[in-house]
Every structure is written in structure tokens, then in C-alpha cells.
Amino acid sequence: MTTLTPEQVRKIDNTGERLGKRFAENDVSTSQLRKVFGEIKRAENEFKFEDDTEQAKQTLFLIKPHLAYAAARKEEMQDVKDEISRFMDLVVGDCSDEDMEIFFRIMEATVAYHSYYTEVGVEN
């Protein structure tokens, strides 16, 4: 596991909160977001425990069609598709292990903040 700097941690937190709040504002359900996150966690496990960065990148890349399908079925998923796909494009390209770690932490923070804002309301 990569050790992140305090500045990186702040950026992860800010990005996760921004995305989580926006997804809550757009009425993305927890189950919709969790389904995507579950697939991302599978890639993270390949990256961390199997030490297979290339397989993890392939797994991430193959999530994009699932996001497109979800966005076609439910309009509120379009923003999720756009944002997560944008991050995936960066990570699937030429990136470092640290970049992969940051991506996984951003996604984790996004789900956590989405749950928070879904529970307490997005006005907070």
C-alpha cells in the first residue's frame, strides 16, 4: 500500500465529498453506487492482493460498459458514468501504483460521502 501525503489525502477527501454529495443530489441510489463500487473493489483486490496492475486496469476498463448501460437505463446514473469514466481513463492509461491507490481511495470516499448525504440530506 502506498503512503499518501497529507495533501493527497485532503484532495481525496475533497473529491470524494464533492462527488458523493453531487450523486446524492442527483438521486443516485445507494444500491446503484454500491454495485459500481463492488466492481471497483474487485479491481482493487487484483491490484493489492494479486499484485496484478494490468489485470486491475483491464477490470476497471470493463466497468465502463456497465456504467454506460446503467446510465442508459436510469438518467441519474449519467453523472456517475461521466465522472467515474473520466477517472478510469486516467488510471487505465499510463499511471503509477500511487495513482491507482488514489483512484481507489477517491471511490471509497465517494461512496461514504454519498451514504452520508443520502442520510442527512444534501443541504448540510
In a domain, 77, yes or no: yes
Is 106 a domain residue?
A: yes
Q: Which residue has the higher pLDDT, 91 or 107?
A: 107
**Beta-carbon contacts of residue 30 (< 8 Å; ≥ 6 apart):** 114, 115, 118
Indicate the number of domains in the chain: 1
Q: Which pLDDT band, with edges at 50, 70 and 90, does 15 fall under?
A: very high
Q: Is 68 inside any structural domain?
A: yes
pLDDT at 55 over 80: yes
Signed CA dihedral, 25, 31, 37, 39: sign only: negative
Task: Give domain status of residue 42, yes or no.
Answer: no
* Helix (H), strand (E), coil (C) string for 38-74: HHHHHHHHHHHCCCCHHHHHHHHHCHHHHHHHHHHHC
Provide the pLDDT for residue 94. Answer: 82
Evaluate whether residue 16 is within a structural domain. Answer: no
Residues 6+ apart with CB under 8 A from 29: none
Share of the chain above pLDDT 70, in %: 98
Q: Is the pLDDT assigned to residue 96 strictly greater than 90?
A: no
Range of the domain at 99: 51-116
CB contact burial 22-50 (16+ within 10 A = b; e otherwise): bbbbeebeeebbeebbebbeebbebbbee
Q: Which pLDDT band, with edges at 50, 70 and 90, does 123 fall under?
A: confident
Is 28 part of a structural domain of the chain?
Answer: no
Decide if 124 is inside a domain: no
| CA 67/CA 54 separation, integer angstroms | 20
Give the position of cell 471509497.
108
Task: Examine residue 20 and state whether it is found in any structural domain, yes or no.
Answer: no
Band of residue 1 on the pLDDT scale cut at 50, 70, 90: low
